[in-house]
Amino acid sequence: MFDSFTLSQLQELWWLIVSLIGSLFIFMTFVQGGQSLLSYVARNELEKSLVINSLGRKWMLTFSTLVLFGSSLFAVFPLFYATSFGGAYWAWITILISFVLQAVSFEFRQKQGNLLGARTYEFFLFINGIFGVFLFGIAVATFFSGSSFQLDDYGQVLWQHPMQGLEALLSFFNVALALFLVFLSRTLGALYLLSNIDFRLDLVKDMEKRLRKAVTTNLTASIPFLLYFMVTLATGEGFAISSETGEVFMEKGKYLHNILAMPGILAMLGAGLLLVFWGAAKARQPATTCGIWFSGLGSTLVLLGLFLTAGLNNTAFYPSSFDLNSSLTIYNASSSRYTLTTMGYIALGMPVVLACVALFWHKMDREKISTGEVSDFTAKEIY
């Protein structure tokens, strides 16, 4: 099946697949968003337990999606993996540490003898909830703003800034996308908790109100950052590849041209934003809890649109602002045709695995998490 594809078709297909995984990760950051909302929405131990146990059943899926995103990039765009991870070193190390903190916090928080105390682990969850998403957003923004590196003839990266990746924090354009994603994840987190917790008892009615409010406030807070990012993206210069020479050059309005040249992406961005708002609007209707599915799908579409804008239509997806011709494109950074084909067959396993995930997610979530369930402190499985 994949053997009949040309190399460039495989490269484009794989950019689509890794973009989809990255976008799904953004949807799954509802876990991080929920973590960062913990101190705001949960005012007592019972509420806290509900929130943490609800998120605790999904955190590993988010974690796995992030690792799958990184691993797929390694397999199909190894030059990007080597350049970005080896160059923007401190940015990635910080992101990874935030996910290490998350990994242990759910499991350790309530366990006796946990060394650091429950509050510390809750703080770790907050750190991951905010900075994990924020720094990932910064990393994604550099797909458009560029990074300061040079590649030699042997593909070795020479990073040109002593902050090794953290310099990306100095660009407000990058920060704007990162903050948009942080507020979006908080919106998704509140929507997920609304859908996953049983609020029928009066005991938790106030938390439900706070969650519904959090949806509106966080989505509202995200809008200015999204607008700034989109306007700057549309009006600024972008990293274009010359179709004649293959060289990278700066083109005014490149990303707007990309969006207009690929109406599918325009539709994705438009429909995605509408769905995000539609899902959030659902939270304003009492007893409606399905908003996460609309906003989740919407955020996936928005991010997918952005990733495709960064990589398709003769665009450098990991541009170098130091040396334009060291910029990475999906054509010069990809694996060989054989590997892309092999990965294509391996990826056929993904829908099967995802179907399993969806089936068992559905089985587990048929009944919402109730106060009774998390109050059974004899059960060792409670987070």
Partner 1 sequence: MIDLQNLILLDWSRALFALTAMCHWIFIALTLGLSWLLAFFETFYVKTGSGVWKRITRFWMMLFGISFTSSLATGIIFRFQLGTNWSNFAFMAGDIIGVPLAAEIIFGLFLMAAFYAVMFFGWERVSKKTHLFATWIVALGSSLSAFWIIVANAWMQHPVGMAFNPDKARFEMQNFSEILLSPVAISKFAHAASSSFQVAALFVLAVSSWYLLKGRHQDFAKKSILVASVFGLLSSVFTGFTGNVAAFANARNQPMKLAVIQGLYDGEESAGLVLAGILNPDKFPGDSKSPFLHKVRIPGLLSLLANRESGLFVPGINDLVFGNSKYKIMGAERKIEQGKIALELLSQYKTAQKEKNGTRTKMALANFKNYEKYMGYGYLDKAEDCVPPVGLTFYSYHVMVVLGLLIPIIFLFFLYHTYKDTIFRKKWLLRFGLVSVFLGYIASLAGWIVAEVGRQPWVIQNILPVSVARSNLTTGTVQLSFFLFLFLFTVLFIATIRIMLKQIHIGPETPRIE
User: Which residues from 61-90 bind partner 1, rule CB under 8 A?
Assistant: 61, 63-64, 67-68, 70-72, 74-76, 78-79, 81-87, 89-90
Q: What is each CA distance from 310 to 91, 179, 267, 314, 336, in whole angstroms? A: 20, 19, 16, 9, 21
Give bridge partners of residue 237 from the DSSP assignment: 252
7 binds partner 1 (CB under 8 A): no
Q: 308 to 347, contacts with partner 1 by CB under 8 A?
A: 335-336, 338-339, 342-343, 346-347
Q: From CA 290, how far away is CA 145, in angstroms rounded?
A: 36
| Stretch in the footprint of partner 1 (CB under 8 A) among 102-110, 129-137, 140-148, 237-245 | 102-110
Q: From CA 206, how far away is CA 373, in angstroms rounded?
A: 19
The helix (run of H) or strand (run of E) holding residue 250 is strand 248-252
97 binds partner 1 (CB under 8 A): yes
Q: 264 to 293, contacts with partner 1 by CB under 8 A?
A: none
Contacts of 242 (CB under 8 A, 6+ apart): 248, 249, 314
Residue 295 CB, shortest distance to partner 1, in Å, is 22
Residue 274 CB, shortest distance to partner 1, in Å, is 30
Q: What is each CA distance from 365 to 84, 196, 207, in whole angstroms? A: 38, 7, 20
For residue 73, which amino acid is it?
L
Shorter beta-carbon distance to partner 1: residue 149 or 255: 149
Q: From CA 29, how far away is CA 61, in angstroms rounded?
A: 10
Q: 158 to 187, contacts with partner 1 by CB under 8 A?
A: 158-159, 164
Shorter beta-carbon distance to partner 1: residue 113 or 286: 113
Shorter beta-carbon distance to partner 1: residue 17 or 221: 17
Q: 104 to 123, contacts with partner 1 by CB under 8 A?
A: 104, 106-108, 111-116
136 binds partner 1 (CB under 8 A): no
CB atoms within 10 A of CB 128: 25
Q: 350 to 379, contacts with partner 1 by CB under 8 A?
A: 350, 353-354, 356-357, 360-361, 363-364, 366-367, 373, 378
